[in-house]
Chain A
Amino acid sequence: MKRHLMGVVAAGLTVALGVSGCGKGSSSGGDSDGKTIKFVAAIYDDNTKPYWDALIKDFEAKNSGYKVNLEMVDWTQMDAKVKTYVQTKQVPDILNYNAFSDFARDGLIYKASEVLSPATLGDFTPTFVQQAQYNGTQYGLPFISSARLLFYNKDLFKKAGITDPPATWAEVKSGAEKVKKAGAIGYGLPLGPEESQAEFYSWAMNNGGGWVDASGKWAINQKANIDTLTFLKDLNKSGLTQPNPETTDRKTVFNQFAQGKVGMAIGGPFTKAGFIDPVNKDLNFGVAPLPSKSGSEHNTLGVMDVLAAFKKDDGKNKEAIKKFLDFFYQKENTSKFLTTEGFLPVTKSAGDALSADPYMKQFVDALPTSKFAPTSNPAWSAVAGAVKQDLGTAAANEDPKKVLDKIQETAEKAG
C-alpha cells in the first residue's frame, strides 16, 4: 500500500517537473563544455534540413570535439517558439530569425564583432550591415536576402494587346482593365494576414511613402501612404483584383498566377522555384521593376533574415559559435544555401557566384536600390503584426486613413 502511495507521489512530482520545465530535457544548465552549441534553424522548404544536416556533419568532421545540435522550426511556429525560449531561459546559441533588435535592446545577444572573424565581417554587403544595426552597433548577422519585382504574364498581356510591362500606376490600372477584358484577373493583390506589410510597402515606397519619416519617427498615416492604400482600394473596388484581397495570401495569388489566371503580381526570387514551377513550369512570364506612381523612380523592396547569437554561460559558448559561423559564411557553403533555397546573397563573395543565372541576376541587380522595413527598430515586429491584422480591411470596406491612424497609434505605443 505504501509503495503504491509513493508511486502516486512520484507520478505527481514527475508531472510537476515536466510542467515547470525542470526535467532532464532542459538544456539551459551551466554544465556546457563550451564546445556543444544549439542551433535553431527556420524551415524555408523541404531542402532546408538536408542542407544543414550535411553542413553540420562537415563542420564536425573538420573541427573535432565541437558539436552542433540542430533544431528545425517551421516559420508558422517560430514566433511562439522564440518567445518560449526566452521566457524559460532556454535560448539557443544561434537562432535563424527575421528580427534581432529587441534581443539587442534586452541585452540577450552578442555584437557581431564578438562572434565573427574580421574577414567574415568585412565580406557583408554594406546595405545589409546597415540593416543589422541597433543603436549604431551591428548585432544581427545577415543571413539571406530577397528583393521584390513585378511578375507579369506575357501571354495574357499579348492577348490583351499590351506590349510593355507597366511603369506607372496609371499603366497598371489600364493594363489590369485590358487583362480583365481578356478574361483574367488584372492584378493579384495579397493583403491577407500573411505578408500584407511587404505588399503594401512595395507600393508605398514607389509613391514616396514608407513606415518612418526622414528623422526615423513612425509616419504610417502620412499622406503618401493614404494615397497608396486608396489606390489599392480603388483597384479592388473596380474589380481589377481577385475578390477579397483582405483575406488573400500570397500563395493563393501565385497559385492563380501560375495557372495563367492573373495578369500581374509582385513576387521575389523564390517565386519561380517555390510557386510557379510546381504548378506550371511552362508559364510564359516576365519580371519587371516595381511600377511607381510617377514612373520616374523604381524602388525595390528588400527583405533580410538574420542569425543571432545568444549570450549564455558567461560567454563560454562564444568560441564554438564563432567557429561555426565562420564555417557557414565561407563562400561555397553560403552560396550553396542560396541556390538550394532561391534567395539572394548578403555577402560580396556569394553575390558573384549567383549572378550567372539570368533569372536570379535581375534580383541581384535590384538589390542596391532596395529599401527595407525598419527592422532595426525593436517596435517593428509589433507594427508588422498590426499591419498584417488590419491593413487589408482598408482595401475592402474600411477607410484607409482610419486604418493607418490605428496602426500609427499601435506603433507609437510600442515605442
Chain B
Amino acid sequence: MQDLKAKERGAVTSPAPRPSLAQRIGRALTPLLWLGPALVLITVVVLWPVIEMVRTSLQKISSSGVTLGYRGGGNYTDLFGEDDLIPVVLRTLLWVGGIVIVTMVLSLALGQLLNARFPGRRVVRWAVIVPWAASVLMTALIWKWMLDNYSGIVNRVLLDLHLIDKPVNWLAHPTQAMFWMMWVAVFVSLPFTSFVILAGLQTIPGDVYEAARVDGAGHVRTYFGITLPLLRPAILIASIINVINVFNSFPIIWAMTGGGPGHKTDTTTTYMYKLAFYDQNVGESGAMAVVNFILILVMVLLYLRAARWREEVR
C-alpha cells in the first residue's frame, strides 16, 4: 500500500523524468498486487499440501500420531522393501490404463449419439448425467450388493439364465473382482467424459462437414479425417483428467473389496491408506503418496508428449 501512495505522491509533486528508487520498486511490485491473491491461493491449496506430503514422508511418526523428528529416506527404504509394492504399482497401471481407454472409446460413441438429432434427446442427455450425480461410494456399494454371493441380483440373473450352476463370490476372486470394479469405474467416469466429447463435437463447424460431403467423403472417412482430429483437444483434456481421477480413485475399491483378499486388488491409493491405518506407519504411507504423485506426473507428461500437445497450444 505504501508503495502505491509513494507512487501517487511522486506523480503529483515531482514531474522529474528520472523515477526515484522507491518509484521504480513500486512499479516493479505493482503486478504483484494483481497476481498476489492467485499466488496465495495456489500456494495454499496446491503447493503447501505437496510440501507437507513430502515432509511427512521424511518424518518418523509414531503409531499414536506423534512426530518424532526426521528419518531421512528410511520410509522410502521401507516402502521399496515391501513385497507387495511392485504388484500393486503394476495393478494400478492396469487399472488406470484399462479404465481410461474403455471410457474414452465408449464416450466417443456416446458423445456421437448425444450429438445426433433424435426425439427425446434431452431426456437421454439427462439420463447420462445420473451416474455422475450419484455418489461414487453409493454406486460402488450398490454394485457390491448386486454382486453378493448370497442375495446378489447378478448371481440370480446368471443362475436363472443357466449361465452358471452355483452362485459365484465375484468380489472374492482377484481377477473377477478387478473386472467388476473396473466396470464400475468406467460406469462412473462415462458421463463426464461423454459430455466433454459432446462439447468438443459441438465446436466443430458444420461447413467442414459440408465441404467433406461435397468432396464425396463417406461416413467413416469423415469421422477419421475430420471429426477425430478436430476432437483432439477435447480428448486430450478428458483423458488427462480421467487418468488423474482414476489413479486416485479410492471409494470404489475400498467399498467393494477393501483391496483384498490380502493385497490382491489394491492400487497405490488403497495401499497408501492401509499403510497408514492398518500398518500404523504414517511415514511410509507418506512415502507412498509421494511415489504416487510422481507416477501420475510422469504418466501425464508422457501422455502429453505422445499426444504432441504443443501443437494444440500454438
What residues of chain A have their CB less than 8 Å away from a CB belonging to chain B? 5, 8-9, 11-13, 15-16, 19, 79-80, 82-87, 102-103, 105-106, 108, 192-193, 243-244, 246-247, 252, 256, 378-379, 381-382, 385-386, 388-390, 392-393, 396, 398, 406, 410, 414
With a CB–CB cut-off of 8 A, which chain A residues contact B66? 86-87, 106, 108
**What are 20 A-B pairs with beta-carbon distances under 8 A?**
A12-B37, A12-B40, A15-B44, A80-B277, A84-B65, A102-B64, A106-B62, A106-B64, A108-B64, A246-B172, A246-B260, A247-B257, A247-B260, A381-B63, A381-B280, A382-B280, A385-B278, A392-B260, A392-B262, A393-B262
Whether the Cβ atoms of B279 and A386 lie closer than 8 Å is: yes
Task: Check if B48 is an interface residue, CB within 8 A of chain A.
Answer: yes
Name the distance in Å between A180's Cβ and chain B's nearest Cβ.
14
- The listed residue (A85, A193, A385) touching B258 by CB distance below 8 A is A193
Whether the Cβ atoms of B37 and A83 lie closer than 8 Å is: no
Question: Residue of A at shortest CB range from B276?
Answer: A83
Interface size class of B (residues with CB under 8 A): 35 or more
With a CB–CB cut-off of 8 A, which chain B residues contact A243? 149, 169, 172
Q: A108 CA to B282 CA in the complex, in Å?
A: 18
Task: Check if B281 is an interface residue, CB within 8 A of chain A.
Answer: yes
Give B51-69 as 1s and 0s: 1 = Cβ < 8 Å from A's Cβ atoms: 0000000000111111100
Give B81-107 as 1s and 0s: 1 = Cβ < 8 Å from A's Cβ atoms: 001000000000000000000000000
What residues of chain B have their CB less than 8 Å away from a CB belonging to chain A? 33-34, 36-37, 40-41, 44-45, 48-49, 61-67, 83, 149-150, 169, 171-173, 257-258, 260-264, 274, 276-282
With a CB–CB cut-off of 8 A, which chain A residues contact B169? 243-244, 247
Name the distance in Å between A159's Cβ and chain B's nearest Cβ.
20
Given contacts A5-B37, A80-B277, contact A102 B63 (CB under 8 A): yes
Q: A13 CA to B45 CA in the complex, in Å?
A: 11
Q: A380 CA to B74 CA in the complex, in Å?
A: 22
With a CB–CB cut-off of 8 A, which chain A residues contact B280? 381-382, 385, 414
**Number of A-B residue pairs at CB separation under 8 A:** 111
With a CB–CB cut-off of 8 A, which chain A residues contact B260? 192-193, 246-247, 389, 392
Additional pairs, 19, CB under 8 Å, beyond known A19-B49, A385-B278: A5-B33, A9-B36, A12-B41, A12-B44, A13-B40, A80-B277, A83-B276, A87-B65, A106-B62, A192-B260, A244-B173, A247-B169, A381-B63, A381-B280, A382-B63, A382-B279, A389-B262, A390-B262, A410-B279
Residue from B44, B48, B171, B281 whose CB has the most chain A CB atoms within 10 Å: B44
Name the distance in Å between A87's Cβ and chain B's nearest Cβ.
5
Q: A374 CA to B148 CA in the complex, in Å?
A: 35
Whether the Cβ atoms of B62 and A15 lie closer than 8 Å is: no
Question: Residue of A at shortest CB range from B40?
Answer: A12
Whether the Cβ atoms of A15 and B65 lie closer than 8 Å is: no
Question: Residue of B at shortest CB range from A78?
Answer: B277
With a CB–CB cut-off of 8 A, which chain A residues contact B277? 79-80, 83, 385
Name the distance in Å between A88's Cβ and chain B's nearest Cβ.
9
With a CB–CB cut-off of 8 A, which chain B residues contact A192? 260
Whether the Cβ atoms of B37 and A86 lie closer than 8 Å is: no
Q: A402 CA to B277 CA in the complex, in Å?
A: 23
With a CB–CB cut-off of 8 A, which chain A residues contact B150? 252, 256
Name the distance in Å between B65's Cβ and chain A's nearest Cβ.
3
With a CB–CB cut-off of 8 A, which chain A residues contact B149? 243-244
Q: A177 CA to B45 CA in the complex, in Å?
A: 60
With a CB–CB cut-off of 8 A, which chain A residues contact B83? 406
Whether the Cβ atoms of B63 and A15 lie closer than 8 Å is: no
With a CB–CB cut-off of 8 A, which chain B residues contact A16? 40, 44
Q: A234 CA to B269 CA in the complex, in Å?
A: 34
Q: A391 CA to B131 CA in the complex, in Å?
A: 36
A-B interface, 3 closest residue pairs, ranked by CB to CB distance from nearest: A86-B65, A385-B278, A244-B172
With a CB–CB cut-off of 8 A, which chain B residues contact A106? 62, 64, 66
Name the distance in Å between B176's Cβ and chain A's nearest Cβ.
11
Given contacts A12-B41, A15-B44, A243-B172, contact A103 B279 (CB under 8 A): no
Q: A80 CA to B276 CA in the complex, in Å?
A: 9
Question: Residue of B at shortest CB range from A103?
Answer: B64
With a CB–CB cut-off of 8 A, which chain A residues contact B33? 5
With a CB–CB cut-off of 8 A, which chain B residues contact A193? 258, 260
Question: Residue of B at shortest CB range from A242?
Answer: B149
